């Protein structure tokens, strides 16, 4: 039986916080929040104890990196969106052994990946925001992998995903993997940002995103991974969508035959396209 219990592409939009607060946008992201909470419930039902997050807010300019702190604990304010995410307290157990094994296996594939045990290496909000809804009580260990990779090859990110899968299968943890980030990610121009909190920045991006979701729903994953490099560029994929390359690398890349289940319908947020989608695993 596989130790990989759940795989998903998820949203982490900060407007989920706004959705929780009284005001004109109260409840606006309730479907997204509910989708994340449902992932948490499924993790419970599947006996998951560890969540690996491919985080498109952790920028790395060279090599691949894993935050293998034994414990993630701190108070987070986003330097990108300090008006949206302030003083978010977090405290999660890490998964250092799994992190080390992933890096070792990536190195065996010729991909430079470093596993860090540095208590001041902070966690980004691509990990922290979804954990707030999936893992509010810290019952799952967390392992954050950098996935904002501007100068990296998609093939290498697929190998990272494959290394994650191998390490999971070789270990004794029950694991969920989450590709945290949007579909298209062309945020609105600054002067349109406030009024555009619920809209896409260009219809083109939305139509391509919807086509991608059709491919996922129909299991046309070979077509999807072949379009992923150009899609990530033309539609400004978040972190260039290396999180998604890692996810599909773990699933089997173009050999993966699963048909995605859409947990939260496609929605547009601050110019970008978002979804919560679960990718079924072979029994
Ligand atoms: Fe983001």
263 C-alpha to ligand 1 centroid (Å): 19
Q: How far is the CA of 274 from the centre of ligand 1 (A)?
A: 10
Cα 100 to Cα 67, 146, 221: the distances in Å are 10, 14, 29
> Which pLDDT score is estimated for 1?
86
17-67: per-residue pLDDT in tens? 999 999 999 999 999 999 999 999 999 999 999 999 999 999 999 999 999
Cβ-in-10-Å burial (0-12, 13-18, 19+) of 92 comes to buried
Whole-number Å distance, alpha carbon 199 to ligand 1 midpoint, is: 15
Q: Is beta strand 4-10 parallel, antiparallel or unpaired with respect to 272-278?
A: antiparallel
d(CA 101, CA 170): 9
Q: How far is CA 48 from CA 5, 44, 84, in A?
A: 7, 6, 30
Residue 202: count of CB within 10 angstroms of its CB: 15
How remote is the CA of residue 283 from the centroid of ligand 1, in Å? 32
Helix (H, G, I), strand (E, B) or coil at 137: coil
Least Cα distance to 146 among 243, 62, 249, 58 occurs for 58
Confidence (pLDDT) at 102: 98
- Distance, in Å, from the CA atom of 49 to the CA atom of 3, rounded to the nearest integer, reads 10
Ligand 1 midpoint to CA 3 (Å): 28
- Distance (angstroms) between ligand 1 centre and the Cα of 270 equals 10
Per-residue 3-state assignment (H helix, E strand, C coil) for 64-94: EEEECCCEEEEEECCCCCCCCCCCEEEEEEC
Handedness of CA 209, 211, 212, 217 (dihedral sign): positive
| pLDDT per residue as tens digits for the range 181-233 | 999 999 999 999 999 999 999 999 999 999 999 999 999 999 999 999 999 99
Out of 63-67, 81-85, 160-164, 232-236, least confident range: 81-85
Q: How far is the CA of 145 from the centre of ligand 1 (A)?
A: 15
In the predicted model, what is the mean pLDDT of residues 83-98? 96
Topology (CATH) of 4-278: Protocatechuate 4,5-dioxygenase; Chain B (3.40.830)
CB proximity list for 10: less than 8 A, separation 6 or greater: 35, 36, 39, 130, 178, 179, 180, 276, 277
The ranges assigned to domains in the chain are: 4-278
**180 Cα: distance to centroid of ligand 1 (angstroms):** 8
Band the pLDDT of 16: cuts 50, 70, 90: very high
Work out the mean pLDDT of the chain and round it to a whole number.
97
With cut-offs at 50, 70 and 90, classify the pLDDT of residue 269.
Answer: very high
Task: Report which DSSP code applies to 37.
Answer: H
> How far, in Å, is the centroid of ligand 1 from the Cα of 1?
34
Ligand 1 centroid–CA 142 distance in Å is: 18
Helix axes 221-234 and 154-170, enclosed angle (nearest 10): 130
Q: How far is the CA of 30 from the centre of ligand 1 (A)?
A: 18
Asked whether residue 278 carries a pLDDT value surpassing 90, the answer given is yes
pLDDT for 5 equals: 98
pLDDT at 283 over 90: no
Is the model's pLDDT at 275 over the cut of 90?
Answer: yes
Please tell me the distance between residue 185's alpha carbon and the centre of ligand 1 in angstroms. Answer: 8
DSSP 241: G
pLDDT at 169 over 90: yes
């Amino acid at each position: 039986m596989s130790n990989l219990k759940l795989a998903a592409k998820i949203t982490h939009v900060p407007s989920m916080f706004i959705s929780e607060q009284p005001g004109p946008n109260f409840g606006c992201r309730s479907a997204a929040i509910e989708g994340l909470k449902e992932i948490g419930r499924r993790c419970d039902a599947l006996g998951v104890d560890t969540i690996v997050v491919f985080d498109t807010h952790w920028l790395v300019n060279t090599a691949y990196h894993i935050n293998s702190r034994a414990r993630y604990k701190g108070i987070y304010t986003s330097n990108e969106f300090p008006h949206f995410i302030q003083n978010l307290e977090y405290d999660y157990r890490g998964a250092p052994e799994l992190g080390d094994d992933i890096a070792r296996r990536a190195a065996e594939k010729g991909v430079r990946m470093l596993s860090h045990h540095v208590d001041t290496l902070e966690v980004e909000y691509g990990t922290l925001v979804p954990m707030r809804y999936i893992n509010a009580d810290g019952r799952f260990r967390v392992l954050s992998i950098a996935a904002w990779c501007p100068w990296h090859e998609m093939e290498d990110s697929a190998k990272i995903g494959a290394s994650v899968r191998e390490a999971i299968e070789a270990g004794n943890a029950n694991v969920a993997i989450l590709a945290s980030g949007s579909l298209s990610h062309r945020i609105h121009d600054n002067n349109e940002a406030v009024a555009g909190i619920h809209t896409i920045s260009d219809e083109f991006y939305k139509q391509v995103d919807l086509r991608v979701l059709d491919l996922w729903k129909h299991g046309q994953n070979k077509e999807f991974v072949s379009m992923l490099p150009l899609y990530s560029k033309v539609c400004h994929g978040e972190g260039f969508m290396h999180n998604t390359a890692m996810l599909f690398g773990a699933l089997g890349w173009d050999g993966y035959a699963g048909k995605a289940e859409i947990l939260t319908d496609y929605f547009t947020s601050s110019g970008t396209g978002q979804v919560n989608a679960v990718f079924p695993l072979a029994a």
